[in-house]
Structure 1
């Protein structure tokens, strides 16, 4: 029986207990990790003083239009959401924390939706979204012959077997990131998709964030001049995943994003990865990726008290900074110039850059539905998922060996 893992990709990332996301706008929550019965739990203690000094610089900017998207909690906006329907029949495998966001989106996008999860209790979640009991099963194979596409939101160790089954049945597949546990598994999935003539799309959601599209347009237009370096932070206090480490679940987001923004792959990698919680998988990650003369620094971790999802790109004429939680993109005209034999720091104007407000997950899944209909290659295809995972593997190799690793593409 082809049962589905009972924990979705999101559950394994955050744990089966409810996640606590604490900002600095109210009483600060001082939290710690406690080890109990072999698991890593969290406990919190409030103190009323707050940490105003740690509040993000972004809080001084006001986002107009009433739109806000949080990749953990979903999309919020004022007014009604406009949704385009597709004549697609979709099978969603896995409806844990992140899978439920997929479920919510598919109820608005798909013509007919089937759901599979090994946990019988998830049938209640489906009923909340008006999914009939006849469309829910503990065995995903019950529905493979009824659908056009399969959406896999399960732990990484199950991706290969589920994708293989779906592709062998001639179905197009969307699989959450990471594409697989290893690049060898990813290569098998890509090869099978090509052999069967099927779509394979990987859930690298930040490619579908409208801010990313805007940034790439500005870079292609040369708005920043020559790119010097860039950096990104994907971190915040949360329970560790138990299928993959923080480099493979969080840092990989921005590894793929910079691949997309620069339109190239890194030539070399240097990384420092730590296991401060003394668990088998990493919880803290610092990576330096070389894109020719450009270098990118990525920090990811489960320990920092502040939650950050931001990137910055520094050019010789201007810079961009983007807070992907608050949907804020800033252009700063600061630059250095040589004048009379001296290097002068010139403070330029900072301005907010506008871009469309759309829910990235909805855009991503709608793109999958479009690919099923048009047979167009996805923006984040299997090859993109493989390339991001290959960089992750190089990061682990670099940290273990203590040396810079050159990429062989």
Structure 2
């Protein structure tokens, strides 16, 4: 029998979970506090149960839940589900503090439940291919990673741009480098609201001497989502905001001749990868994990690690702002 999943929140992102789970045959229920919106979804998805209260859905038997509500609600809703001994996938960020994320992780362990976080891009076939290329030595020793996530909006009032955008980038860095940073420096600008940065640049150093930086902004004239990997034998670039979403390999290195740097440029080529829907991949993985003993990708521990890095960035930004006053 197929697993039945209940989605909490039928908004801008929740509706995508609902649609894909329905296509997969795994949609069992929808929790949405707005009666009008709920009625529209129940009319569209026949045979699916609807609830305006989470508590009512917990009285029925679901194999797992997806939380697709505003970030500030992730902890209380996740806590309630885990206390009911239910498996749950929480959209990023898993919570808005390390303390909350740690409590969710402990609850999942105590109640023997799967806790997964919606680090969607870890299920993007291009990111998976990048990982394979880096691990295979395609660009030699990894020296530097650079990630940008820029757009115009959506501006949040309860979370800053780092908590809104950067969980994707940080989860990718952790995945590609397979290490946590040992040093972080960050600066941010609060242009629209007091104490809520709209633009953040963070720099990371790793034990392996690899360097990385992340640039996120919701005050940018156009969409840009790009990750670049620089090695000592070549370079890779994935542009997630382009029309073709290609991975490009640049056969470019710097060689040294008697202490002088020599630029070697052998051109660029496209790296093929199998295309698939990241959200479907993520949901299929979550559902498979319900019967598996382990959840290896985007688990509660990795969700906590990302939040702790975000908090470190926020602390560095606040410190630098105080120095500027």
TM-score, reference length from structure 1:
0.75
Mapped contact 2:174–2:180 kept (Cα < 8 A):
yes
Partner of residue 232, structure 2:
316
The answer to whether 1:344 aligns with 2:262 is: yes
Partner of residue 5, structure 1:
none
Alignment deviations for residues 29-50 of structure 1 (CA, whole Å, 9 cap, x no partner): xxxxxxxxxxxxxxxxxxxxxx
Alignment deviations for residues 298-318 of structure 1 (CA, whole Å, 9 cap, x no partner): 111111101011100111110
Gaps of 5+ in 1: 1-85, 404-409
Query: 2:223 and 2:194 mapped to 1: Cα distance?
Result: 22
Mapped contact 2:10–2:38 kept (Cα < 8 A):
no
The answer to whether 1:160 aligns with 2:75 is: yes
The answer to whether 1:295 aligns with 2:211 is: yes
* Aligned mate of 2:281, from 363, 366, 372: 363
* Aligned mate of 2:149, from 224, 231, 234: 234
Structure 1 runs, 4 residues or longer, greater than 6 Å off: none
Matches within 5 A, 1:173-322: 173-292=88-207, 293-322=209-238
Query: 1:279 and 1:121 mapped to 2: Cα distance?
Result: 35
- In proportion to residue count, which structure has more helix? 2
Matches within 5 A, 1:111-150: 111-127=26-42, 129-132=44-47, 135-144=49-58, 145-150=60-65
Deviation at 1:373, TM superposition (A): 2.4
Matches within 5 A, 1:10-49: none
Alignment deviations for residues 137-187 of structure 1 (CA, whole Å, 9 cap, x no partner): 101221223201011011122112111111121110100010101000000
In the comparison of the two structures, how many residue pairs are matched?
Answer: 317
Gaps of 5+ in 2: none
SS at match of 1:306: strand
What is the RMSD of the two structures over their aligned residues, measured on CA atoms? 1.6
Query: 1:128 and 1:348 mapped to 2: Cα distance?
Result: 57
TM-score, reference length from structure 2:
0.93
